[in-house]
């Protein structure tokens, strides 16, 4: 039995079953598990900084400095960008009803000119849009409320940072422990598997994160120069939402275009906005993605949608952010065992 490869080796099968059980167990205790997932992401992002400091100072201090640098980076973002985002978000929520009213007037005008006005003059168009407006506002408020409740929890933030510090400090020992365990259990492909997972996470978290940051800056500056209201907010949103493959660009560009039509109507500004997002997509597809990500992630669109919906259901906005890296890891494991099976 021990001579049979991979999947048929009972020890490899036990490892695979153990991973599945761990995933299902994590779903039931997700409120706790997500703290460790966020901490792991922080450690993973800051690991190059820690490795650099390891050459010159004690590992305890290098772990501490890497976390401090990460905190300072986040604080600089909160001080410089978050106040602008909050202000423009509040203004957008306040002005949204007037945009809906403009659209209602446009529909009525088209109805008067081109349709059977006598038959439709008693139709209350607002009935069609009130549910959409209320749903948008309710969803937006709930998203903001849930995100603020989590990230404004001082206890959670401190706990995440403490977990990150100790995880960073013990990261190499944890890796060595699993390497030794795999070696003793004769799981020869463990190193290859972990290297592939590391490549996928590196490409996804660091690579896709870099792409989002670049696009957010370019979109925000470009839309601000065009003169569209909430240009900085829309630019940052469009850049960050590109973290979600396939649908991110559609959501960011579509929302900006709709709000631009309310402000400018059919005009040269709309053509410029379309050109900005077209240029952004070309830049992302033909330069940024090949450079920072390549073909390492290899996630099917259906698998992406399933992961996003599951993450949103389990943990809201935070779940959306961490669902794709988890899906990428599961994809690596699934491909590995399918390859061994067939």
- pLDDT tens-place string over residues 181-206: 666 655 667 777 777 887 787 777 77
Question: In this structure, are residues 235 and 252 in contact, taking their beta carbons and an 8 Å threshold?
Answer: no
pLDDT confidence of residue 8: 45
With CA atoms as reference, report the closest residue to 327 among 197, 199, 208, 213. 197
d(CA 276, CA 59) in angstroms, rounded, equals 45
pLDDT confidence of residue 170: 82
Rounded to an integer, the average pLDDT of 45-51 is 85
On whether both 166 and 283 belong to a single domain, the answer is no
Phi-psi sector, 294: left (phi>0), alpha (psi -120 to 50), beta:
left
Question: In this structure, are residues 260 and 267 in contact, taking their beta carbons and an 8 Å threshold?
Answer: no
On whether both 294 and 253 belong to a single domain, the answer is yes
Identify the band that residue 335 occupies on the pLDDT scale cut at 50, 70 and 90.
confident
Q: Which residue has the higher pLDDT, 268 or 88?
A: 268
On whether both 173 and 195 belong to a single domain, the answer is no
Number of domains in the chain: 2
Looking at 47-51, 102-106, 134-138, 209-213, which range is the least confident one? Answer: 134-138
CA triplet 64, 31, 75: central angle to 5 degrees? 40
d(CA 222, CA 45) in angstroms, rounded, equals 28
Rounded to an integer, the average pLDDT of 9-14 is 57
pTM of this prediction?
Answer: 0.66
pLDDT confidence of residue 1: 43
On whether both 198 and 178 belong to a single domain, the answer is no
100 Cβ neighbours under 8 A, 6+ residues apart = 126, 129, 132, 133
Q: Which residue has the higher pLDDT, 280 or 161?
A: 280
Rounded to an integer, the average pLDDT of 1-22 is 55
d(CA 317, CA 104) in angstroms, rounded, equals 31
On whether both 168 and 198 belong to a single domain, the answer is no
Identify the band that residue 2 occupies on the pLDDT scale cut at 50, 70 and 90.
very low
**Boundary residue ending a domain (184, 199, 233):** 184
pLDDT confidence of residue 219: 94
On whether both 178 and 215 belong to a single domain, the answer is no
Identify the band that residue 22 occupies on the pLDDT scale cut at 50, 70 and 90.
low
pLDDT confidence of residue 276: 94
pLDDT confidence of residue 112: 64
Q: Is the pLDDT of residue 56 over 50?
A: yes
State the residue range of the domain holding 233. 189-342
Q: Is the pLDDT of residue 178 over 80?
A: no
On whether both 132 and 280 belong to a single domain, the answer is no
Rounded to an integer, the average pLDDT of 47-52 is 85
On whether both 179 and 201 belong to a single domain, the answer is no
> How many CB atoms are located within 10 Å of the residue 339 CB?
11
Looking at 15-19, 36-40, 150-154, 194-198, which range is the least confident one? Answer: 150-154
């Amino acid at each position: 039995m021990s001579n049979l490869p991979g999947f048929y080796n009972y020890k490899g099968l036990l490892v695979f079953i153990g991973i599945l059980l761990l995933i299902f167990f994590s779903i039931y205790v997700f409120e706790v598990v997500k703290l460790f997932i966020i901490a792991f992401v922080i450690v993973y992002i800051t690991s190059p900084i820690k490795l650099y400091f390891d050459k010159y100072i004690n590992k305890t201090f290098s772990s501490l400095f890497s976390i401090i640098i990460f905190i300072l980076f986040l604080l600089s973002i909160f001080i410089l960008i978050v106040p602008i985002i909050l202000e423009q978000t509040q203004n957008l929520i306040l002005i949204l009803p007037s945009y809906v009213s403009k659209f209602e007037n446009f529909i009525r005008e088209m109805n008067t000119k081109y349709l059977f006005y006598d038959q439709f003059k008693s139709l209350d168009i607002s009935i069609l849009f009130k549910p959409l407006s209320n749903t948008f506002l309710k969803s937006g408020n709930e998203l903001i409320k849930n995100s603020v409740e989590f990230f404004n929890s001082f206890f959670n933030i401190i706990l995440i940072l403490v977990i990150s510090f100790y995880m960073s400090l013990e990261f190499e020992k944890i890796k060595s422990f699993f390497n030794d365990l795999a070696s003793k259990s004769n799981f020869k492909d463990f190193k290859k598997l972990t290297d592939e997972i590391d490549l996928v996470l590196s490409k996804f978290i660091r690579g896709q994160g870099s792409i989002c940051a670049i696009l957010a800056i370019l979109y925000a500056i470009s839309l601000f120069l065009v003169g569209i209201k909430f240009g900085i907010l829309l630019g940052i949103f469009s850049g960050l939402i590109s973290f979600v493959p396939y649908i991110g660009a559609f959501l960011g560009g579509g929302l900006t275009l709709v709000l631009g039509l309310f402000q400018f109507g059919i005009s040269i500004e709309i053509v410029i906005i379309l050109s900005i997002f077209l240029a952004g997509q070309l830049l992302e597809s033909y330069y940024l993605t090949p450079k920072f990500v390549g073909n390492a992630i290899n996630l099917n669109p259906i698998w992406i949608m399933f992961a996003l919906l599951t993450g949103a259901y389990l943990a809201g906005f935070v779940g959306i952010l961490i669902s794709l890296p988890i899906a990428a890891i599961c994809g690596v494991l699934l491909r590995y065992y399918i390859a061994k099976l067939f």
